[in-house]
């Protein structure tokens, strides 16, 4: 196996990390199994005899350097990313490797852009934060919906989730983000992140069939408010979440996801419905699939594949829509995602 096929996965034994490891193998890559817990790594190797596991801690840069040795790229699946993103990006920069993560933490994603944009660009390397369901997919959909527009007045990204059984990592990341906001809420308005204490509105969103109209929580702000404005001139970026899924997430006793198929996916279904508006014209595109954690694996691995095969548009810290050909990327995910273009006012 050529060395360019080795991809390091930090947090390999986590729920999302396991999907990423399986997807890499499916695509002909050899995952290097990285994480901080030796026993959990050994248990994962039992499931994947022949794969190499390497223990590394974000508090020990030398251990990260050793762990990345021989890899062609690194995918960071270990969250909260407030703790892991910076040390892993630093290690990737030292090694000259592309870095992709699945961070859904707004402040951690902002930090990645703020702290590493210049150094990554100067090094000619690529850092792609939020290359997952939240942040990455929404950005690819917004970029696709924009078509030949380079600016718009508004982007609306509505998440239709049949349910949300959060993992421990999702819950821990939510706690960390909440602490970083001092319990305040955040939205993207007037071209910037705005912290506030307003109550969140409940409204109805007309999702495409079979979801149909659903009650959603407005200003349920997700990582798309970092990825989309990082490269598109849109002053208002709003995200919405089905009220049912928001209630699942906030309930302390909602169970973790339960696998229902041979790929380990849960029964959760989703549709991400995107609307961009400029003047009086709207453009819209949506994507539907199964399991928000599972879909993050083909998103992250497709990103790495495109980076390693030179199908990129820029270097430095970049979001999915900026660095990849968004419609082409979404088409490549057709085994996992069905695209809906319910109406299109271009013409
Ligand atoms: N953007 C998206 O749409 C999206 C999609 C999927 C996941 N995510 C994010 O990805 C993260 C992981 O989610 P998950 O579902 O895989 O959760 P999970 O199953 O609980 O796994 C969390 C993983 O992170 C590791 N980890 C946590 N803190 C660490 C630290 N300080 N140093 C090293 N490793 C650490 C854990 O290792 P230990 O077991 O040793 O603690 C474990 O491997 C979460 O932040 C989640 O929000 C985002």
Residue from 170, 228, 294 whose mutation best tests the ligand 1 pocket (most atoms within 8 A of CB): 170
Q: Which residues contact 187 (CB under 8 A, 6 or more apart)?
A: 193, 194, 196, 219, 221, 225, 238
Pick the atom of ligand 1 nearest to 137's CA.
3
**Per-position pLDDT tens, the chain of length 347:** 456 799 999 999 999 999 999 999 999 999 999 999 999 999 999 999 999 999 999 999 999 999 999 999 999 999 999 999 999 999 999 999 999 999 999 999 999 999 999 999 999 999 999 999 999 999 999 999 999 999 999 999 999 999 999 999 999 999 999 999 999 999 999 999 999 999 999 999 999 998 999 999 999 999 999 999 999 999 999 999 999 999 999 999 999 999 999 999 999 999 999 999 999 999 999 999 999 999 999 999 999 999 999 999 999 999 999 999 999 999 999 999 999 875 444 43
Pairing of strands 30-35, 281-290: unpaired
Residue 78 Cα to ligand 1 midpoint, Å, equals 4
Ligand 1, atom 20, residue with closest C-alpha: 169
- What b/e string do you get for 281-305 counting C-beta neighbours within 10 Å, with b at 16 or more? ebbbbbbbbbbbbbbbbbbbbbbbb
Residue from 169, 227, 292 whose mutation best tests the ligand 1 pocket (most atoms within 8 A of CB): 169
pTM for this entry: 0.97
Q: What DSSP line would sit under 173-195, residue for residue?
A: HHHHHHHHTTT-EEEEETTEEEE
Q: What DSSP line would sit under 131-151, residue for residue?
A: -SIIIIIHHHHHHHHHTT-SE
What local confidence, expressed as pLDDT, does residue 341 receive?
76
Separation of alpha carbons 165 and 268, rounded Å: 8
Ligand 1, atom 34, residue with closest C-alpha: 78
Residue from 64, 67, 78, 83 whose mutation best tests the ligand 1 pocket (most atoms within 8 A of CB): 78
Q: Which residues contact 178 (CB under 8 A, 6 or more apart)?
A: none
Residue 221 Cα to ligand 1 midpoint, Å, equals 20
Looking from the CA of 158 toward its CB, the CA atoms found within 13 Å total 26
Cα distances from 248 to residues 103, 167, 205, 245, 256, in angstroms, run 20, 12, 18, 5, 11
What local confidence, expressed as pLDDT, does residue 1 receive?
44
Ligand 1, atom 26, residue with closest C-alpha: 78
Q: Which residues contact 3 (CB under 8 A, 6 or more apart)?
A: 70, 72
Pick the atom of ligand 1 nearest to 80's CA.
45
Separation of alpha carbons 299 and 305, rounded Å: 10
Pick the atom of ligand 1 nearest to 133's CA.
3
What local confidence, expressed as pLDDT, does residue 340 receive?
86
Q: What is the 3-state secondary structure (H, E, C) of 20-41?
A: HHHHHHHCCCEEEEEECCHHHH
What local confidence, expressed as pLDDT, does residue 342 receive?
56
What local confidence, expressed as pLDDT, does residue 37 receive?
98
Pairing of strands 213-217, 233-242: antiparallel
The residue with tokens 């790229």 is: 73
Residue 86 Cα to ligand 1 midpoint, Å, equals 15
What is the rounded (10 degree) CA torsion for 26, 51, 20, 338? 10
Could you tell me the two tokens for 252?
């302390």
What local confidence, expressed as pLDDT, does residue 3 receive?
62
Q: Residue 181 — φ and ψ, nearest 5°?
A: -95, 5
- Ligand 1, residues at Cβ distance < 6 Å: 11, 13-17, 35-37, 40, 58, 77-81, 83-84, 102, 104, 130, 132-135, 167-170, 173, 223, 293, 296
Residue from 55, 77, 227, 291 whose mutation best tests the ligand 1 pocket (most atoms within 8 A of CB): 77
Separation of alpha carbons 318 and 315, rounded Å: 7
């Amino acid at each position: 196996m050529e060395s360019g096929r080795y991809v390091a996965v930090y947090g390999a034994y986590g729920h999302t990390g396991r999907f990423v490891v399986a997807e890499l193998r499916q695509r002909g890559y050899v995952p290097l199994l990285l994480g901080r817990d030796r026993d959990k790594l050994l248990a994962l190797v039992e499931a994947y005899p022949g794969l190499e596991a390497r223990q590394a801690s974000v508090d020990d840069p030398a251990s990260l350097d050793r762990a990345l040795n021989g890899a062609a790229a690194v995918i960071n699946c270990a969250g909260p990313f407030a703790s892991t993103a910076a040390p892993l990006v630093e290690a990737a920069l030292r090694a000259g490797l592309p870095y992709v993560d699945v961070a859904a933490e707004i402040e951690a994603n902002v930090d990645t852009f703020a702290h590493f944009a210049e150094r990554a660009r100067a090094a000619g390397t690529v850092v792609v934060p939020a290359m997952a369901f939240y942040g990455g997919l929404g950005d690819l959909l917004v970029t696709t919906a924009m078509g030949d527009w380079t600016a718009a007045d508004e982007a609306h990204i509505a998440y239709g989730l049949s349910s949300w059984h959060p993992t421990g990592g999702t819950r821990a990341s939510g706690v960390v983000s909440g602490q970083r906001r001092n319990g305040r809420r955040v939205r993207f308005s007037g071209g910037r992140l705005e912290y506030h204490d307003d109550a969140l509105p409940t409204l109805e969103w007309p999702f495409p069939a079979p979801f149909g109209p659903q009650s959603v929580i407005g200003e349920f702000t997700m990582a798309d408010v970092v990825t989309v404005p990082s490269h598109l001139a849109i002053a208002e970026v709003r995200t919405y979440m089905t009220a049912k899924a928001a209630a699942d997430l906030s309930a302390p006793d909602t169970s973790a996801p339960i696998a229902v198929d041979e790929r380990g996916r849960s029964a959760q279904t989703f549709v991400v419905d995107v609307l961009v508006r400029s003047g009086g014209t709207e453009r819209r595109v949506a994507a539907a699939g199964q399991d928000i954690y599972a879909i993050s694996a083909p998103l992250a691995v497709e990103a790495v594949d495109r980076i390693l095969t030179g199908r990129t548009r820029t270097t430095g810290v970049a979001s999915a829509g900026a660095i990849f050909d968004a419609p082409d990327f979404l088409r490549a995910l057709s085994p996992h995602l069905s695209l809906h273009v319910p109406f299109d006012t271009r013409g």
